[in-house]
Amino acid sequence: MEVFQSHRKSSSNNVIVSILPFYRSAPPLEVRLEDFEFFAMDRLRVLKGISDGLCRGKKPEEMEKLVVDLWKANMRHPQAVEEVNKDIISHFVLRLVYCRTEELRKWFLSMETTLFRHRFRLESSEAQRALMSEFKLPYKAVSNAEFESVKDKLGQVARSMGQNLPAADAIFYKVPFEEVPDLVSGRRVFIHKGHAYVAMNQVVSLVVTQFRSYISKALILTNRKWTSTIREQEKDRLTPIVEALCTSYLGPDYSQPQEFGEISIKDIDQVAKTSFPLCMRHLFEKVKEDHHLKHGGRMQLGLFLKGVGLKLDDALAFWKAEFAPKVSAERFDKEYAYNIRHNYGREGKRTDYTPYSCQKIISVTPGIGDHHGCPYRHFSEENLRAALVRMGVSSRAVEDVMDKVHNRHYQLACTLTFEAVHGSSCDAGINHPNQYFIDSQRVLQSKNGSVA
Amino acid sequence: MTKEEADNGRDDMVIDVPGQANAVPDGFNANYLRIYYGKLFPHADMFKWMSYGNDGKHPGCDKSYFGRREFSFTLENDIYIRFQSFNSVTELENSIKEKCPFKIDIGPVYSVDPAKRHAYAQSGDNVFTPVERELVFDIDISDYDDVRYCCTGADVCLECWPLMTIAIKVIDTSLRDDFGFNHILWVYSGRRGVHCWVCDGKARRLTNEQRAAIADYFHVYKGNENSQKKISLPGLVLHPFLARSYTEVLKGFFEAKLLPNQNLLASEERYEKILEMIPDASVASELRRRWQENKRASMSKDDINIVRWEQLKSILQSGKQKMQGLRRCVEEIVFSYTYPRLDMEVSRHMNHLLKAPFCVHPKTGRVCVPIDPNNCDEFDPTTVPTLSQIWAHNSCDVFTWQLLEELNRGGLRQDAENEWDRTSLGESVAFFRTSFLQPLLKSCKEEIENSYNAKLQQSKNDLSW
């Protein structure tokens, strides 16, 4: 097995120039089973944080800062060796987790590439050059003579982008244009006879393309190995961990409503139509229809509304009003108000309960008369189709959603619904009803300039 | 049969042959199409092209190559059949003659014979997927309707056709100088546009992402009816590609041809469109005021459009203008009227089907003939041969007709070549062969040889201890 070199030393100070690995081969280290899981979860937090950032349309500078913060919060270790090992180990574990379907591979590839891109940009230019030669990119630095001959054109390109003219000793790489599609696309390079003249600061593009391509192939290979040998061999040890990792919810718990602050009762009807995920829409509609909800439904919807920003007093008023045709005011105060206050942490052990994640909601099985749980899992095909149509999902999108449902990818089905209803993509995927709500409000707000 | 006998025989033939010039209906006709496919369509040349040198003569040839190419036929009554594939020139020719398609489209080369695609999955290991496809472009003059006043929609005339000519110049130069491609075929689409086929090996093997990058590199004109400003050229100077296009092609054409021919500044309705593009309202008002006062052609003998354009340029380019948006305003105006408007979607994906050259356009009857990019100024879409014209021409000369039949059956005969030359279509086929096909095949053969030798060398190296 290849010996993994985790340190690159610069000639002068014996200082480690860069610790950005390419994940070319699995490290020949012994890993404790717990670390296997914990390292992976930490890295997953980073990737999901990135996914979240992208989903929310953060600009490149914001993403760069986000990556730094996420890495610091989850992956830092005082000893560089340990940090590199955790970096590599966690990557390889997540490869196992995310190699298993096309969707998972696509997501993982996208997030790892983004992570790599930002980490690479943060390296010094010496370190970047060292990394480039490690990657064995067969690109030659442009000779002085050639530089002189194309200097004017290079200058034109720079100025067309609002940058300064290249210095006399600037380094440029001559690269087949096929290798730098995004630079070609944006006319950010001078191209001549099939070669692109890439500036040092654009080198990121080159390396990232290589990285992406490599990881993409590696994931396919990993998947083959997983299906043919690893999964069976490891069924008592690693396999259960790997299978659980993918669905574990690591995101925010939405117990504290943030951006949109408060929602008052009069807003609820409106936002229910536009921004509630199907599970909550269904519960909401049922409350309005039946003037009642059983315990499971009250918990699921009630905590969701709390996360959405409904204050305790408004919540009490809401439920009281909805139940009024069937439950007198006194009975409400006696039998239901307590539980609602309990949910808001005002009673008993004062736990501030957190709204349920998709994972939790999917796992419950509603009984007769119940309306909670995940509709993608529990509705009949006919009912689900009708519900999607009522939400405004086009018939083509309904087919895509149903396809996911048949394959038991309930969260992906909800994500597709989100995308169809809002006309915008959600790369991170839906993991939490409150996330659906917040993302929906964001999309609508950016369209209308106001909260819908 | 001697020529004399043929000439005498011609008198007898006249009655049978429906070829009297007066009686021939215009444009397109399914019967003529059948004869066209029977006698004139260059099946063998198309086959050689699509084989890219894989004719089985060299051990390095891929014998399955041609058979993995998708063709699609549009039959009479709009019946559309996809995933047609053929294993030889005979199969191709027979199918075309038998089905007589109103349109033939060429698709990509797939990983396996398209006829067997159902045996393969869409993803995973055993895949049916495109593996090679020419880099193609489609430019349609109806996308320029907002800048041509002589025609709209499907019509084309010699006033507005030059918009296509300059599009060819801009794109062709860039494909060769910037991207290093050599084997480029430009084809008249038969009615109102042009297609471009880039056939270098490197081009055929481009991924969708790379194609999209090239399309984006060419994407300067971004707009639809709703967007006000369709060209935005920020930056202190233009990228070398845009600068070259402007100075070598667009500026000259706009100022000398388009401006006066389309009277772009002569009337209020038309000059308002240009004034709208000036971000500084005071400049626009100043010009408007001047032009309103000066409604008639003034003292100057020069064309009013040119006079006004000079006034516009002198205000916008004067040193006094400091406003950011004005820096490139003149270029932006020129670009928005003249820069090529490509159909981006056509170029982005490997599996996009594109009409084959030498097809006949069902609405006009015109043959989709190649255009020489080095002489594209001379190309006149209104004189491209139509089916009925070819038929009429050929029916007058049985001798030629017979020779053409020989040609399509066998190889090229020396004397036949001269006869072929005489028909207007013959010129196009000759051009196709000498300017495009022969250099392409030569290059393909070299590629096949080199690749084969490299493999041999590799296996020798592998075997050595």
State pLDDT tens for residues A3-45: 233 333 333 333 444 578 878 877 777 888 888 888 998 999 9
Tell whether A86 and A179 lie within a shared domain.
no
**What is the model's pLDDT at position B195?**
98
Whether the Cβ atoms of residue B163 and residue A177 lie closer than 8 Å to each other = no
- Tell me phi and psi for residue B24, to 5 degrees: -75, 120
Q: With a cut of 60, say whether residue B28 has pLDDT above it.
A: yes
Q: Calculate mean pLDDT across residues A55-70.
A: 85
Q: With a cut of 70, say whether residue B404 has pLDDT above it.
A: no
Share of chain A above pLDDT 70, in %: 89
Q: With a cut of 70, say whether residue B353 has pLDDT above it.
A: yes
**Burial of A431 by CB count in 10 Å (0-12 exposed, 13-18 middle, 19+ buried)?**
buried
Whether the Cβ atoms of residue A134 and residue A100 lie closer than 8 Å to each other = no
d(CA B344, CA B346): 5
**What is the model's pLDDT at position A234?**
82
Catalytic residue among B55, B70, B132, B200: B70
CB within 8 Å of chain A, chain B residues 344-403: none
**What is the model's pLDDT at position B16?**
30
Q: A374 a known binding residue?
A: yes
d(CA A170, CA B88): 55
d(CA B460, CA B465): 10
The amino acid sitting at B95 is: S
On chain B, the residues whose CB falls within 8 A of the CB of A182 are: 213
Alpha-helical (H) ranges within A277-345 are 278-290, 295-308, 312-323, 329-335, 337-343
Q: What is the ipTM of this complex?
A: 0.85
Q: With a cut of 50, say whether residue B416 has pLDDT above it.
A: no
DSSP state of A260: T
**What is the model's pLDDT at position B172?**
98
What domains does chain B contain, in order, with CATH numbers?
30-221+342-456 (3.90.920.10), 240-337 (no CATH)
Share of chain A above pLDDT 90, in %: 34
On chain B, the residues whose CB falls within 8 A of the CB of A160 are: 235-239, 242
Contact at CB, B217 and A185, closer than 8 angstroms: yes
Residue among A105, A109, A153, A160 with most chain B CBs within 10 A, to mutate: A160
Tell whether A224 and A276 lie within a shared domain.
no
The angle subtended at Cα A242 by Cα A236 and Cα A248, nearest 5°, is 125
C-alpha distances in Å from residue B443, one per residue of A138, B338, B368, B374: 25, 34, 25, 21
Which tens digits make up the pLDDT trace of A205-236?
778 888 888 999 999 999 998 888 888 888 88
B200 is catalytic: no
**What is the model's pLDDT at position B341?**
93
Tell whether A212 and A78 lie within a shared domain.
yes
Whether the Cβ atoms of residue B45 and residue B432 lie closer than 8 Å to each other = yes
Residue B218: closest CA among chain A residues belongs to which residue?
A185
Which tens digits make up the pLDDT trace of A252-284?
556 555 555 567 778 888 889 999 999 999 999
Whether the Cβ atoms of residue A159 and residue A151 lie closer than 8 Å to each other = no
**What is the model's pLDDT at position B12?**
30
**What is the model's pLDDT at position B93?**
96
On chain B, the residues whose CB falls within 8 A of the CB of A153 are: 240
Q: What are the beta bridge partners of residue A196?
A: A175, A191
Q: With a cut of 50, say whether residue A451 has pLDDT above it.
A: no
Structural domain contains residue A436: yes
Pick A156's closest partner by Cβ from B180, B216, B240: B240
B122 part of contact set with chain A, CB < 8 Å: no
Q: Calculate mean pLDDT across residues B262-273.
A: 90
d(CA B293, CA B290): 5
A76 part of contact set with chain B, CB < 8 Å: no
User: A108: domain CATH number?
Assistant: 1.20.930.80
Tell whether A279 and A413 lie within a shared domain.
yes
B447 part of contact set with chain A, CB < 8 Å: no
Tell whether A190 and A214 lie within a shared domain.
no
- Here the tokens at position B91 are 């199969």
Nearest to A286 by CA among A387, A217, A197, A209: A387
B135/chain A closest Cα distance in angstroms: 13
**What is the model's pLDDT at position A449?**
62
Tell whether A180 and A312 lie within a shared domain.
no
* Candidate ranges A73-77, A405-409, B405-409; pick with highest mean pLDDT: A73-77
- DSSP-derived secondary structure for B398-443: HHHHHHHHHHHHS---HHHHHHHHHSHHHHHHHHIIIIIIHHHHHH
Alpha-helical (H) ranges within A31-123 are 33-55, 60-75, 80-98, 102-122
Nearest to A76 by CA among A62, A64, A90: A90
- Tell me phi and psi for residue B159, to 5 degrees: -75, -45
Structural domain contains residue A23: no
**What is the model's pLDDT at position A254?**
64
Tell whether A169 and A187 lie within a shared domain.
yes
Tell whether A311 and A391 lie within a shared domain.
yes
Contact at CB, A195 and B179, closer than 8 angstroms: no
Q: Residue A138, SS3?
A: coil
Tell whether A229 and A337 lie within a shared domain.
no
Which tens digits make up the pLDDT trace of B340-349?
999 988 999 9
Whether the Cβ atoms of residue B237 and residue B243 lie closer than 8 Å to each other = yes
Band of pLDDT at residue B42, cut at 50, 70 and 90 = very high
**What is the model's pLDDT at position A155?**
94
Q: Calculate mean pLDDT across residues B311-331.
A: 79
A184 part of contact set with chain B, CB < 8 Å: yes
**What is the model's pLDDT at position B9?**
36
Q: With a cut of 90, say whether residue B94 has pLDDT above it.
A: yes
**What is the model's pLDDT at position B182?**
97
Structural domain contains residue A12: no
The amino acid sitting at B363 is: K
Tell whether A52 and A156 lie within a shared domain.
no
**CB proximity list for B84: less than 8 A, separation 6 or greater:** B70, B71, B72, B73, B95, B114
Q: With a cut of 70, say whether residue A62 has pLDDT above it.
A: yes
Structural domain contains residue A26: no
Task: Tell me how many domains chain A contains.
Answer: 3
DSSP state of A359: H
Structural domain contains residue A17: no
Band of pLDDT at residue B106, cut at 50, 70 and 90 = very high
**CB proximity list for B159: less than 8 A, separation 6 or greater:** B148, B150, B151, B261, B262
The amino acid sitting at B448 is: I
Least confident piece of the model among B18-22, B210-214, B291-295: B18-22
B98 part of contact set with chain A, CB < 8 Å: no
The amino acid sitting at B190 is: G
Q: Which residue has the higher pLDDT, A387 or A346?
A: A387
B138 is catalytic: yes
A310 backbone φψ class: left, alpha, beta (φ>0; ψ -120 to 50): beta
Query: Strands across the sheet with B193-198, in order?
Result: B135-140, B193-198, B184-188, B370-371
- Here the tokens at position A239 are 């396999």
Among all chains, which residue has been given the structure tokens 């442009």? Answer: A142
Mean pLDDT of chain A: 83
d(CA A419, CA A411): 12
B372/chain A closest Cα distance in angstroms: 21
**What is the model's pLDDT at position B1?**
41
**Helix (H) or strand (E) segment spanning residue B355:** strand B354-355
Least confident piece of the model among A213-227, B318-332, B391-405, B433-447: B391-405
On chain A, the residues whose CB falls within 8 A of the CB of B177 are: 192-193
Nearest to B382 by CA among B183, B150, B43: B150
Structural domain contains residue A323: yes
Residue length, chain B? Answer: 465
**What is the model's pLDDT at position B227?**
57
B406 is catalytic: no
**Helix (H) or strand (E) segment spanning residue A191:** strand A190-192
Long-range contacts of B458-462 (CB under 8 A, 24+ apart): none
Whether the Cβ atoms of residue A201 and residue A183 lie closer than 8 Å to each other = no
**How many CB atoms within 10 Å of residue A222?**
21
Nearest to A267 by CA among A233, A308, A232, A227: A308
DSSP state of B318: S
Share of chain B above pLDDT 90, in %: 55
Q: Calculate mean pLDDT across residues B308-332.
A: 81
Q: With a cut of 80, say whether residue A427 has pLDDT above it.
A: no
Domain span holding position A64: 31-122+207-244
Tell whether A379 and A404 lie within a shared domain.
yes
Structural domain contains residue A254: no
Q: Calculate mean pLDDT across residues A155-173.
A: 88
d(CA A164, CA A143): 21
Structural domain contains residue A369: yes
d(CA A415, CA A421): 10
Nearest to B196 by CA among B340, B12, B384: B340
Band of pLDDT at residue B388, cut at 50, 70 and 90 = confident
Give CA B176 to chain center in angstroms.
16
**What is the model's pLDDT at position A204?**
77
Whether the Cβ atoms of residue A341 and residue A312 lie closer than 8 Å to each other = yes
Q: With a cut of 70, say whether residue B364 has pLDDT above it.
A: yes
**Would you tell me the crossing angle of helices A203-225 and A80-98 to the nearest 10 degrees?**
60
A227 part of contact set with chain B, CB < 8 Å: no
CA dihedral B385→B389→B392→B398, nearest 10 degrees, is: 0
Nearest to B365 by CA among B94, B45, B103: B103
Residue among A184, A217, A219 with most chain B CBs within 10 A, to mutate: A184
d(CA A30, CA B222): 56
Q: With a cut of 90, say whether residue B296 has pLDDT above it.
A: no
Whether the Cβ atoms of residue B441 and residue B51 lie closer than 8 Å to each other = no
Whether the Cβ atoms of residue B194 and residue B167 lie closer than 8 Å to each other = yes
Strand runs (DSSP E) across B46-163, as ranges? 69-74, 80-84, 103-110, 130-132, 135-140
**Helix (H) or strand (E) segment spanning residue B194:** strand B193-198
Q: Calculate mean pLDDT across residues A86-112.
A: 88
Tell whether A360 and A238 lie within a shared domain.
no
- b (16+ CB within 10 A) / e for A123-139: beeebbbbbbebbebeb
Which tens digits make up the pLDDT trace of B160-187?
999 999 999 999 999 999 999 999 999 9
Mean pLDDT of chain B: 84
**What is the model's pLDDT at position A189?**
95
